[in-house]
């Protein structure tokens, strides 16, 4: 019996978190989030981006940088090399130099070459990725995630923006805003966030939710502190009720602590810093 009880406890600990079981419960649905954000500012119409291979490369370049910088790096790759085979054959230093404007070139260059080499091995010399258009969605996602350096966000970007198939990419902004709204448990991993969010709305809303929430996260629901007095979701956001305490989820943010400490501390006269 003791062993059975221990097993039950262990299974409870391993059980994945579900929506609304954390500090906050959602006060608003994903569909209403879209309605409010789109009413505030209409979204651009969906248009296909790159081919699947190009979208994979562009998404890799977009990691930890701005859209502007990643776009420049992608254009530099296209200008420097005649095709993807040439990128694979090039010395890694050449690839680094081409994408340097996008940041983290020493990390991204070898990853890009490994990704492209794997894609050529799977797709053949013609780089035909049309099989992703007809694969069942779970198989297509698994095919993409099994590529080196590709996670669920990159896979979803390819499915949504290149192939026009229903997938919801969850980047850092989407994850942060969704957790502050209580639509995701605070401890849900980025990997699991995709399926949990997709399950809360019709597939027709995936593009709208992704684009609208990213824009909202960049402009209003910022990290580390949101601008709640400008937020059209604030009256239905449990985190907004705690923003005065210094941060979302009732946590005291570093910036808020620094501001309060500065108010309490007497101003020091200006002078040359002391050397230790």
183-222 per-position pLDDT tens digit:
999 999 999 999 999 999 999 999 999 999 999 999 999 9
Say how many domains are in the chain. Answer: 2
Which CATH number is 219's domain given?
1.10.1670.10
- For residue 3, is pLDDT > 50? no
Report the candidate in 110, 113, 106 with the shortest Cα–Cα distance to residue 86: 113
Whether residues 181 and 127 fall in one domain: no
Residue 266, pLDDT > 60, answer no
12 is catalytic: no
Q: Phi and psi dihedrals of 188, rounded to 5?
A: -65, 135
pLDDT of residue 252: 43
35 and 58 share one domain: no
The residue from 9, 25, 141, 153 that is catalytic is 153
pTM: 0.78
Instruction: Give Cβ neighbours of residue 14 (< 8 Å, ≥ 6 apart).
Output: none
Q: Identify whether residues 58 and 100 lie together within a single domain.
A: yes
The CATH number covering residue 147 comes to: 1.10.340.30
More confident residue, 244 or 58: 58
Domain identity same for 61 and 157: yes
Q: Which domain holds residue 38?
A: 22-46+166-251
């Amino acid at each position: 019996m003791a062993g059975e009880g221990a097993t039950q406890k262990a299974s409870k600990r391993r059980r994945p978190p579900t929506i609304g079981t954390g500090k906050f419960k959602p006060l608003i649905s994903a569909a209403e989030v879209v309605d409010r954000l789109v009413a505030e500012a209409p979204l651009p119409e969906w248009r296909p981006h790159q081919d699947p291979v190009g979208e994979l490369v562009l998404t890799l370049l977009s990691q930890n940088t701005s859209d502007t910088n990643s776009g420049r790096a992608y254009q530099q790759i296209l200008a420097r090399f005649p095709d993807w085979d040439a990128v694979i054959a090039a010395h890694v230093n050449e690839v680094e130099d081409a994408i340097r404007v996008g940041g983290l070139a020493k990390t991204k260059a070898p990853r890009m070459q490994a990704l492209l080499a794997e894609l050529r091995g799977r797709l053949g010399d013609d780089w035909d990725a049309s099989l992703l258009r007809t694969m069942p969605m779970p198989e297509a996602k698994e095919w993409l995630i099994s590529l080196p350096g590709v996670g669920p966000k990159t896979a979803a970007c390819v499915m949504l923006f290149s192939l026009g198939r229903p997938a919801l990419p969850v980047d850092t902004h989407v994850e942060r805003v969704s957790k502050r709204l209580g639509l995701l448990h605070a401890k849900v991993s980025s990997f699991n966030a995709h399926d949990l969010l997709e399950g809360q709305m019709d597939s027709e809303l995936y593009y709208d939710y992704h684009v609208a929430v990213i824009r909202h996260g960049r402009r209003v629901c910022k990290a580390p502190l949101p601008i709640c007095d400008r937020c059209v979701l604030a009256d239905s956001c449990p985190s907004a009720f705690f923003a005065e305490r210094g941060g979302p989820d009732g946590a005291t943010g570093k910036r808020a602590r620094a501001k309060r400490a500065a108010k309490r501390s007497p101003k020091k006269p200006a002078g040359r810093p002391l050397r230790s």
